[in-house]
Structure 1
Amino acid sequence: MSSRKGRKDAARVVREQLAQERRRKRTLWVSVAAVFVLVIAGFTGWAVFSEQRSDEFTPPPGADDTGTGIVFGSGPVTIDLYEDYLCPACKQFQEVSGETIDQLADEGKARVVFHPVAYLNRFSTTEYSTRASAATGCASAGGKFREFSEALFVQQPPENGAQLSNDQLIDIGAAAGLDRDTFGTCVRDGTYLSWTEHVTEQASRSEITGTPTILVNGEQVNNWSPESIRAAVEAAG
């Protein structure tokens, strides 16, 4: 009798263990499924957020159809310039070839699209790259983009610091011929901060990895000399 009872007890224990194992597996699969759903939802949410973020911007007057740059000139060849106002190499490029770029636009040989990206905020305690870029949107709205942009490079502050304040940017704009009140309000309100984010994000998606980057009809020009840029424009035209 005791032997039979022992076998029954052992069988009952085995059944309980099997039932526990089935419950454990069901709980595990439910947890895995829940995590999977959350991961998918997270990726979906990030994709939606990124798409909305890149779409929610106000382009300034003078921007191209994509809202990624300020246009001047209307020639048959397109020059895309990607520059950061905190970039020392960009200042050097402007000193060497900026006048040539302006001449090509003024001569009707090139349509210049200037993309003021904000790549170098890591070298600023005040996100100067972003603020300077946004301020150029205000300058474009006031019809003085080129004058203000040139002045920013002339008065470029060093990396690793606070750089120029908004009040100093406004002073530079006023000296470039912009209405102090209108331009100042635009800068202080951050009217074109979302536009700067869009310009920078789209440049990154286009695999623009450094500044300055110069494209002539989509082809990168690695030699920044005036002669090389003119030759590239003439060859593309």
Structure 2
Amino acid sequence: MISRRLLVAAAAMVGGLALAGCSKGGAGPAEGDMTLGSANAPVKFVEYASVSCSHCATFNNEVFPQFKAKYIDTGKVQYTLKEFLTPPENVAAAGFLTARCAGKDKYFNVVDAIFQNQNEMFQTGDVRGVLLRIAQSAGLTEQQFNACINDETAIKELDERVKRHIKDGITGTPTFMVNGKQVAVGEISMAQIDAAVAAAGK
């Protein structure tokens, strides 16, 4: 299973959830956030997501491919993933740490693989085994994977990102923002995305 150190760290991260306030976050990428698409795109689409969130997996697996092809790959939208932690928080933290260890060019491939294998991970209970397999497919050795999810500096950086997102007023995932305006929480359809992007482009 995931290390106790990561479990304790993840618990500490989400301890601040009750402190969530309201700010003007979500307008675009901040330091440390991962993005897809042109920085010059007129529309900034932000998703607060957790790799342990089933609704986030549904969006990734069923809606995101069409959204990416229609808007991100064509330069119309810049997509930002803002990392959040939902129960089990240590699993979400380990997933994001693994994605970052794989490198910027493989980050979204690893996140996608975690979402695609989320059911297996939770149904079998073999979280470590699934994450290790994904890490190895991204070029990491088992030793590198173990070091990755126990990297205190990386855990601290994740903690800072999560705290920043809590300050944005985010309390659940997935939360979707377009040009700084919240457009959906929980689930979003392509029709809703089309409408939000059209409105933001006016």
**TM-score, length basis structure 1:** 0.62
Summarize the Cα distance change of 1:187–1:226 in structure 2 as closer, same or farther, 3 Å threshold: same
User: Could you give the per-residue CA deviations for residues 94-134 of structure 1, whole angstroms, max 9, x where no partner exists?
Assistant: 22311133222111011111012113236xxxx11111122
Partner of residue 139, structure 2: 179
Matched positions, count = 165
Residue of 130, 137, 150 corresponding to 2:112: 150
Query: What's the CA shift for 1:180?
Result: 2.1
User: Could you give the per-residue CA deviations for residues 158-198 of structure 1, whole angstroms, max 9, x where no partner exists?
Assistant: 38x96511x532321332xx222395365244252222212
Summarize the Cα distance change of 1:162–1:199 in structure 2 as closer, same or farther, 3 Å threshold: farther
Mapping for residues 88-127 of structure 1, pairs under 5 Å: 88-103=54-69, 104-121=71-88, 127=90
Summarize the Cα distance change of 1:164–1:195 in structure 2 as closer, same or farther, 3 Å threshold: same
Structure (1/2) with the larger helix percentage: 1
Q: Aligned partners of 1:135, 1:195: CA distance in 2, in Å?
A: 14
Partner of residue 212, structure 1: 174
Q: Which runs of 5+ in 1 are unaligned?
A: 1-49, 51-63
Summarize the Cα distance change of 1:142–1:236 in structure 2 as closer, same or farther, 3 Å threshold: closer
Summarize the Cα distance change of 1:195–1:164 in structure 2 as closer, same or farther, 3 Å threshold: same
> Residue type matched to 1:77 in 2?
V
Q: Aligned partners of 2:77, 2:147: CA distance in 1, in Å?
A: 30
Structure 1 stretches of 4+ with a deviation exceeding 6 A read none
Q: Percent identity?
A: 24
Asked if 1:131 is matched to 2:131, the reply is no
**TM-score, length basis structure 2:** 0.71
Paired residues of 1:117 and 1:133 also in contact (CA < 8 A):
no
Paired residues of 1:118 and 1:133 also in contact (CA < 8 A):
no
Paired residues of 1:77 and 1:233 also in contact (CA < 8 A):
yes
Paired residues of 2:49 and 2:173 also in contact (CA < 8 A):
yes
Residue of 27, 31, 34 corresponding to 1:70: 34
Paired residues of 2:57 and 2:116 also in contact (CA < 8 A):
yes
SS in 1 for 2:110: helix
Query: What's the CA shift for 1:85?
Result: 1.0
Q: Which runs of 5+ in 2 are unaligned?
A: 1-15, 17-28
Asked which structure has the greater CA Rg, the reply is: 1
User: Could you give the per-residue CA deviations for residues 37-69 of structure 1, whole angstroms, max 9, x where no partner exists?
Assistant: xxxxxxxxxxxxx9xxxxxxxxxxxxx4422x2
Mapping for residues 6-17 of structure 1, pairs under 5 Å: none
